[in-house]
Every structure is written in C-alpha cells, then in structure tokens.
Structure 1
Amino acid sequence: MHPDSPISATLVAWGNAWLAGHVGLDEAVDRLERAAGPQVVSGVVTEIPLRRFLADLRAEGVSALRLSLPVAGDPLGLTGPLPFTMAAVEAGQAATAVLRDRCLGLVPSPDRRGSSYSGVLWTAMEAEATPPDVPGLAEAEHALTSAMRSATDALSGVDGPGRGQPSIGGADDGLAPGYPARAHRVAALTARLASVLRLADERGLTAGQVTVRGQALRDLDRAVRRARVAAHNAIVEARHERDAQARP
C-alpha cells in the first residue's frame, strides 16, 4: 500500500469514532469503502469482511485503534514484534487494535481480483501490547510548528529553477465525528503539508542545495507524521484524560 494512501488513518479515525459511540459500525465501514473500495481482513485461517472483523473485535473488548506511520529507521507507532514492524514499514502505515490482553496489528495492501475489483486487503498480525512512544497532541503540534519554521528558514536561501511555494490550500483532515477541534486543526495542517512534501523536487539544484533542502524536508516529514499520528490518536487521549480526572 502506498504510504500516500490514507486508508490506515481512515480506519483509525472512523474506528475510534465508532468505539466512542459517535458513529455506527455501518457508517464507519461505509466511509472506508467509499475511500478505497471493498475491504477484507486476512487472518491465520480465512478472510472475512472488515465489517464482521470489527464486530468480532468489539465482542473481544477492543478499546482503541492506534495509527502507525513508520519509515525505515523511524518505526513510528510500532513496538514489534519484528514481522509486524517489517510489514508496516514496507507498507508505510498500519493500524493496531488494542484489546483487553493483547494487541492486533493490521497492515493494508491493494486487493485486485480481476479487472473490475479493486479494494483493500488487511493482514492481521500479532502486535506487542507495549504502548508505542508517540507524542501527545499538544507536543506534536508544537514540534510541527517548530519544524515548519525551521524548514522555512532553511529553504528561504535555496534558489533554483522553478522555485516557488506550492499551494497548501484546502485539504480534508481525514478525521471523524467526535474528535477534538484541536485534532481537526492539526490534522488539516498535516494534510496540507503532506501535499507540499509530495510536490517537492530537487531538479536544477546544486549538491549543496540538495543537501540543505533534503534535510529540511526530512525534518518536516518527521514532524508531519508525528502530528498526524497524534491527531488520529487524540480521541483516545481525550478519553483517557477524562477517565483520569473522574477517578477519586
């Protein structure tokens, strides 16, 4: 699955909204299917439709879905084991279902069966129950703002043919009902910045300019991925904060 595809983020956002009671299961799965076509989950024994798989997870006590956006050398959102980590890094994305006593990883790939069928195949894999080291929403937003400022400063001195700033106009934040307003704001910004990163190229630059530009864009990409993960985890983070405040 190409990492530019937002399907894991869509599963996490709408799955968490469903678990929190903001949308129904049918609405969540319909949103996923509108985004990427029919979806099935491949387990150890057989394949089942995503709708049935999620219903089964609910019966097992699933409490949250977490987003992973890893790249080589930066397994963001992952804690293992190795087979799941490797598959997620290759896909550039994954979702993790948090159950009562274990976690289950879900890695997407294109599912094409004949000329007229195009959907998503989710491979279910065992995942470590240890929570990943990912930033909270406030921390991620601060780091993203800092990375944007640093990238702007670094790139302002890089001249080259066709130089100019690509538009970062409107972009869908990808979140579902029930997410905090701050999460929507951060997610929308990451979507716009991700578009800028995809449009960036190095044609016509000197070796030194390529080095400066490349480092600035890598730093920004890292901040964007962390902010996107934090935004998609924000509905769970907010619930945990409410639960903690409610304890005597």
Structure 2
Amino acid sequence: MSKDAATALVAWGNAWLTGHVGLDEAVDAVEKSAGPQILGGEPAEVTLRRGLGDLRVGGMAALRLALPAPGDPLGLSGPPGLNRAAIDAGAAVVAVLGERAIGLVPSEDRRGSSYVGVRWTTHDASAGAPDVPSLADADRQLTLAMRDATEALLTVDDLAGAPPEIADALDTLRDPDRGDHPLAPGYPPRAHRVAALAGRLSLVVDLARQMDDRGLSADQMRRRGEALRLLDGAVRRALVAACNSAFDPVP
C-alpha cells in the first residue's frame, strides 16, 4: 500500500502543480488508488485535500518520490530520522518548498472494522537533490535487469515450484495494448511507458518471491535471488525516475 500511495500522490500531485489537473481531481485519483487519506497526526490531522492546499500556500513547487530499501536510501537525502522512517515504510514523498522540504511518510490508518486508509506523517527533510538516475538511465537499467531476471526465472529447471502467474506476467510485459497507466496527465510518454513496465515488473518480483525453493540447487537459488534483488532495485529506480520527471525539460 505504501508504494502505491506514494506513487499516486507524487504523480497526481505533480500533475496538479503543473496545471494539468485541478486539486479535486488529483486528490480523487490518489484516494481511488490507495483509499482515504489524511495528513498529520492527532489532533492536528487534516484531509489530504486541505494538507496539499496548505503546502501549496506555503510554497510547495514539486513532489519527489522516494522508494528506499535497507542499504539503499533511494530518493532521500536525509536527515537520518526521515531516512529511517521511510525505509521502515518502504516509501516516502518529499515536498519541495523553495529552500526547504518536508518529508511525508505513509502508514496504514485503520479505524473500526471497515475503515482502512493512509496517514501521512510529516518529517523534516533536506532540500538537497537526492542521487537518483535520469529517466533515460533508469529505462536502460530496467531493460537490462528485466532480461537477466527473465533468464533466471524461466529456465527449465527453475520452473519447478513457480506459480503460473509469473510466466503470464512475463509474457505480457511488452504487450502494447495493456492499459497500465500509473502516472497522471502531463508526464512525457517515456515516463508513462517506463512506469507501466516497472509496475508490471514489480508484480513479477512479488510473485517470484513466493516461489517454492524445493527442487532447486544452491546455485539456482543464488542466481534467482540475485536476479530478483537487481530487478527490484531497477524497478524502484524506474518508478522514482518516472514520477520525478514531471518537471524535466521537454526534448
């Protein structure tokens, strides 16, 4: 949920900030993707719509996606408190307000027996640009990682214990008729394509991690684990690069 919520917030938030959609449309799209959302903690919590409006009044000019993992603070530039919280959550959004920034870290907001939403907790954040790849570099890295992972996951020996969904997902990765559009209006076509491919590959990673290791040699397990680790890193970099490309110069 955290990754989906953060991706949607950055994509639709930047579409709003660049004037391609209104605030109401952006918030509706974010909440359709990940459920109702609030910003802040009790008693100062506000709706996502109000929170984004307040940030805009405060000078918010862009939203950046962070998808960190242990040992890889992708999309973050500190301070340590934000990095730790974001790594624990698996995602964060950094709101850039001129010379300062605010980190937003998602968590599940469960109330009663039926309400499940997202709560965004604010943290101090560094306004410095994080070390993330360009969209072009992320695209190339994703293509290479996809090739290596396909070879590792679809060898005859490795198919033992593999759920059929993995083969189906890999077969449809390059289907031009797939309707995966995780980004929002205003993004360049390459960003839409890269984000869609990364989203499908993320599903492959999740499914492959459920594979049964029985019947595999130690070398096969090592190769599969390494391929999945590299693919996961490439997927996260691709999503970050795509979501953060809303303000890239048009070639």
TM-score (norm 2): 0.88
Aligned residue for 1:182?
Answer: 190
Distance 2:14 2:190 in 1: 16
Partner residue of 2:22 out of 21, 24, 28: 24
Equivalent residue for 2:175? none
Are residues 1:203 and 2:213 paired? yes
Aligned mates of 1:155, 1:110 — CA distance in 2: 32
Structure 1 residues 16-95: aligned runs within 5 Å? 16-42=14-40, 46-95=44-93
**What code does the residue aligned with 1:203 have?**
D
CA distance in 2, matches of 1:59, 1:117: 30
In the aligned structure 2, how far is the partner of 1:137 from the partner of 1:112? 36
Letter in 1 for 2:84: M
Cα 1:230–1:39 change in 2 (3 A) is same
**Aligned-pair CA distance for 1:6:** 0.4
Aligned pair count? 238
Secondary structure at the residue paired with 2:196?
helix
Q: 136-145 vs 155-164, which deviates more?
A: 155-164
- For residues 131 and 158 of structure 1, what CA distance do their matches in structure 2 show? 44
- C-alpha displacement at 1:149, in angstroms? 2.2
RMSD over aligned Cα atoms: 1.9
Provide Cα deviations, 1:189-237, integer angstroms capped at 9, x if missing partner: 001111111110242222221111100111111111101110111112x
Instruction: Tell me by how many angstroms 1:45 deviates.
Output: 6.7
Identity between Structure 1 and Structure 2 (%): 56
1:225 aligns with 2:236: yes
Listed as ranges, the gaps of 5+ residues in structure 1 are none
Q: Name the counterpart of 2:227.
A: 216
Report 1:77-116 matches (<5 A).
77-116=75-114
Residues 1:146 and 1:13: Cα distance change in structure 2 (over 3 Å): same
Q: Deviations over 1:98-133 (max 9, x none)?
A: 001201000001111211322111001110111100
Q: Could you state the TM-score of these two structures normalised by the residue count of structure 1?
A: 0.89
Alignment of 1:115-194 (within 5 A): 115-155=113-153, 157=155, 159-160=157-158, 161-163=160-162, 165-168=166-169, 169=172, 170=178, 172-194=180-202
**Which has the higher mean CA deviation after the structures are superposed, 153-162 or 182-191?**
153-162
Where 1:76 maps in the other structure, the secondary structure is: coil
- Secondary structure in structure 1 of the residue aligned to 2:157: coil
Q: CA deviation at 1:158?
A: 6.5
Unpaired segments ≥5 residues, structure 2? 173-177
